[in-house]
A = this chain, B = another copy of it.
Amino acid sequence: MKFELTKEFLQEIIDKIDRQEFELIKTELSELHNVDIAELIEELDEEYGKILFELFEDETSAEILVELDEESREAVLEDLSSQEIAEDLIENLDSDDAADIIADLPSEKKVEVLSHIEDIEHASDIVDLLSYPENTAGGLMAKELIKVNDEWAVLRCVREMRKQAEEVDKVYTIYVVDDDDVLLGTLSLKKLLLSPEKTFIKNIYNEKVFSVKANSDDEEVANIMEKYDLIVLPVVDDLNRLIGRITIDDVVDVMKEEAMEDYNKASGISEQVDASDNIVTLTRARLPWLLIGLMGGIMGAEVIGIFDIENNIELAFFTPLIAAMGGNVGVQSAAIIVQGLASNNLGMDSLAQRLIKELGVALLNGIICSGLIMIITSLIGYPNSISFTVSISLMAVIIFAALFGTFIPLVLDKYKIDPALATGPFITTINDVLGLFIYFMIGKLFLNL
């Protein structure tokens, strides 16, 4: 079932649409997963994409819609009436996907579509889900789930599950609740299969169950699911009543985004962009760091200007080296802390312990780098005074940058500010400028600048 979209295949589909060979296309695409059909539609020009989308019906087209990116989704929905959207698409989707689609509609159309959903329970589930912010457990959850009462016996349980299964596409876990819908635990399919028909559920269910409140942050959801290797996580209200469940596939996206955000910050990209965004969006995401870097560069120039470097002009040759090394060490130190905070494996060391350890790493790196620069610059033939000054400064800058890079993210985290900012522009730039200052102060000391 694996599929890779090629230019040839794309052209073939375009030709077939031009020749109106729609049945042929349908047969050919019936082998593909909805994700791949969505990818195909995204790559086609809008008009062709719409034609292709309309070849599919109800359940299939609903599932393709879910996979489409925002732009293509808007395009295909544009031509459909509220009634068509409600009856052909929304009614065929799980509540979470349905809510995501409706949330993106213009507010007028939103109400219209909702009013056209015939299944009242489905409509009310969707309205309910729409009330949760996107980045909360409520925003991630679906309402479809299988639940059984702890007072039931296995036989009744199977019968009730059969009824519920008609509404639920995929059964992940069987939840056990009491008469008030309060979540008590889970029932494994294994236990259900292996227990005699008259056994009561309350005697065979598992009481150890993780759950989250609907207003929990999505990153907390991701952390719990990852830490405890959960495939599905139930969501409860403040009275601990079961109101939905979150599956890992939706959370994988949250995890990826989190990792991407940190990566972006470390690379100097200020908002989530990808290579397919347009030039203005890409520029906007990149300009802020460049501007901060620019200011830092100007400040750096001013710092150098303070000192009288004309008599020791060679010192100026090494300013890029000092600035780059300070920046590199700072980013390394901050990145290790940021990763440690993100994956919760910093253990229980105190700030002081962290700094002492980082000092050790910096000393080791510093001695090696400073020694090398001393030897190499001497061999090249720089005056000893220059070699010595550059070498001592490099040591000082490496130590400073390592401590600064460790300290800042830990302090940011303590004050609930995203520590990944420390790998970003602001701190790196400060690091650069202070590094230059240290360099020339040491130069002044040894060379009388």
Chain A residues in contact with chain B, CB under 8 A? 1-2, 5, 7, 10, 33, 35, 43, 158, 161-162, 165-166, 168-172, 188-190, 193-194, 208-210, 224, 226-231, 247-249, 252, 255-256, 259-260, 262-264, 266-269, 273-276, 279-280, 282-283, 286-287, 289-291, 293-294, 296-298, 300-302, 304-305, 309-310, 313-314, 316-325, 327-329, 331-332, 334-337, 339-340, 343, 345-348, 354, 357, 360-361, 364-365, 368-369, 372-373, 376-377, 380, 398, 423, 429, 432, 436
Contact = CB atoms under 8 A, between A and B. Distances in A.
Contact of A332 (B289, B313, B368): B289
Given A190-B168, A283-B365, A332 B267 contact: yes
22 contacts: A2-B224, A43-B347, A165-B189, A165-B194, A166-B194, A170-B190, A171-B190, A172-B231, A231-B231, A262-B263, A263-B339, A269-B336, A273-B336, A274-B339, A275-B336, A283-B361, A293-B324, A294-B325, A294-B372, A297-B322, A301-B321, A327-B327
Given A231-B247, A290-B329, 17 more contacts: A33-B208, A171-B190, A248-B249, A267-B331, A274-B345, A275-B339, A283-B364, A290-B328, A291-B368, A291-B369, A294-B372, A300-B317, A300-B321, A305-B317, A316-B316, A320-B432, A324-B327
A42 to B, nearest CB: 8
Contact of A294 (B194, B304, B369): B369
A170 B354 CA distance: 41
B348 A7 contact: yes
A294 B377 CA distance: 11
Nearest to A331: B267
A224 B273 CA distance: 23
Contact of A373 (B194, B298, B369, B376): B298
Interface centre among A259, A294, A373 (most CB of B within 10 A): A294
Nearest to A277: B336
Nearest to A429: B324
A286 B339 contact: no
A276 B310 contact: no
A328 B268 contact: yes
Nearest to A373: B294
Given A269-B336, A323-B320, A325-B294, A275 B346 contact: yes
Interface centre among A1, A267, A273, A286 (most CB of B within 10 A): A267
Nearest to A222: B252
Contact of A287 (B298, B354, B365): B365
A10 B424 CA distance: 35
Nearest to A31: B208
B287 A368 contact: yes
Contact of A293 (B210, B224, B290, B325): B325
Interface centre among A274, A293, A297, A345 (most CB of B within 10 A): A297
A316 B287 contact: no
Contacts of A247: 231
Contacts of A294: 321, 325, 369, 372-373
User: Which 4 residue pairs are nearest across A and B when measured between Cβ atoms?
Assistant: A297-B321, A267-B335, A275-B340, A259-B259
A1 B268 contact: no
A325 B230 contact: no
Contacts of A268: 328, 331-332, 335
B317 A320 contact: no
A361 to B, nearest CB: 5
Contact of A190 (B169, B302, B340): B169
